Amino acid sequence: MPLARRRGEVMLVTQEQHVFSGTLRDNLTLAGPAPDERLWHALAGVVWAG
C-alpha cells in the first residue's frame, strides 16, 4: 500500500469526549442540518427509534 494511502487511512482518536456533548440531534447533525424524517431513518437503522 502506498504511503499516501496509508496516511489517508489513519486517524487520531483522543480520550476527550467530543461526541454526545449536546443532544442526540446535535450529534446527528454535526455535518449540517437534516429534516426529522432523515434523523428518524438514521435512528431506525441503529434500533433507537421508538
| In-domain check, residue 50 | no
SS3 45: helix
Query: What pLDDT sits at residue 34?
Result: 94
pLDDT single digits (tens) 21-48: 788 898 889 889 999 999 999 888 887 6
Which domain range does residue 17 map to? 3-45
The label of the residue with cell 437503522 reads: 45
- Tally of domains in the chain: 1
Reported confidence tier of residue 17, pLDDT bands at 50, 70, 90 = low
Q: Span 6-35, mean pLDDT?
A: 82
Q: Which pLDDT value is given to residue 48? A: 61
In a domain, 40, yes or no: yes
**10 part of a folded domain:** yes
> Residue 7: pLDDT band by 50, 70, 90 thresholds?
confident
**Chain-centre distance for alpha carbon 10:** 17
* Residue 30, domain member (yes or no): yes
pTM for the model stands at 0.50
Would 36 be classed as within a structural domain?
yes
